[in-house]
């Protein structure tokens, strides 16, 4: 039987079992994509992340994010939660007053900044890429009807 270590973290809170739950597998290197998906389904959290060595030289770690049903190229709380775990586990060197780590995600490199005081992690924030949008839908009446919204 294979064994894998993971951490269950609560993101966006200081209260245990509050916030957004996340499972972080700190060594996903020997897992296949299919196994990651099955584990995420078994965990049944909104997201589960798997940390891997980076493929791009500017990245500190590669992170794959899975829901119970599919892999995501990016999601906010798993990115920040995984960054926190990497720092807590000593997988990224903490520098005061700020540490920046570059996570390789499905959308590319996402820098995450951590405020650090007395080797304790405070506030975390990420620099997201500019959004891109698809074509604009101009059929207001049809959309309103589909959503059962009155349109005047």
Catalytic residue among 14, 47, 93, 96: 47
pLDDT of 35 strictly over 90: yes
Given a contact cutoff of 8 angstroms between Cβ atoms, the answer to whether 81 and 50 are in contact is no
Please name which of 45, 42, 44, 46 lies closest in space to residue 31, comparing C-alpha atoms: 42
pLDDT of 152 strictly over 90: no
pLDDT of 43 strictly over 80: yes
Please name which of 113, 122, 131, 130 lies closest in space to residue 60, comparing C-alpha atoms: 113
Question: Does residue 47 have an active-site annotation?
Answer: yes
Residue 121 belongs to a domain: yes
The count of C-alpha atoms lying within 13 angstroms of the C-alpha of 21, restricted to the half-sphere facing its C-beta, is 12
Residue 95 belongs to a domain: yes
Residue 133 belongs to a domain: yes
Q: What percent of the chain has pLDDT over 90?
A: 69
Whole domain around residue 78: which residue ranges? 6-146
Average pLDDT, integer, range 75-103: 94
Distances (CA, A) of 113 to 28, 87, 117, 137, 142: 23, 11, 13, 36, 43
pLDDT of 41 strictly over 90: yes
Residue 68 belongs to a domain: yes
- pLDDT computed for residue 147 by the predictor: 87
| 99/126 Cα distance (integer angstroms) | 12
Residue 152 belongs to a domain: no
Residue 88 belongs to a domain: yes
- pLDDT confidence of 141, banded at 50, 70, 90? confident
User: How, if at all, do strands 108-117 and 61-66 pair?
Assistant: unpaired
For the domain that residue 81 is a member of, what is the CATH number? 3.10.310.10
């Amino acid at each position: 039987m294979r064994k894998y270590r993971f951490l269950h973290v609560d993101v966006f809170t200081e209260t245990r079992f509050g916030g957004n739950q996340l499972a972080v597998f700190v060594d996903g290197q020997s897992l296949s994509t299919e196994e990651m998906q099955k584990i995420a389904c078994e965990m049944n959290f909104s997201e589960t992340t798997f940390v891997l060595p980076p493929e791009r030289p500017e990245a500190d770690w590669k992170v794959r994010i899975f829901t119970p049903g599919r892999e995501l190229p990016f999601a906010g709380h798993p990115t920040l939660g995984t960054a926190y775990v990497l720092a807590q586990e000593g997988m990224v060197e903490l520098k005061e007053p700020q540490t920046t780590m570059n996570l390789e995600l499905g959308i590319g490199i996402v820098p995450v900044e951590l405020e650090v005081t007395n080797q304790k992690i405070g506030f975390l924030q990420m620099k997201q890429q500019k959004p891109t949008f698809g074509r604009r839908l101009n059929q207001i009446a049809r959309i309103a009807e589909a959503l059962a919204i009155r349109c005047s």
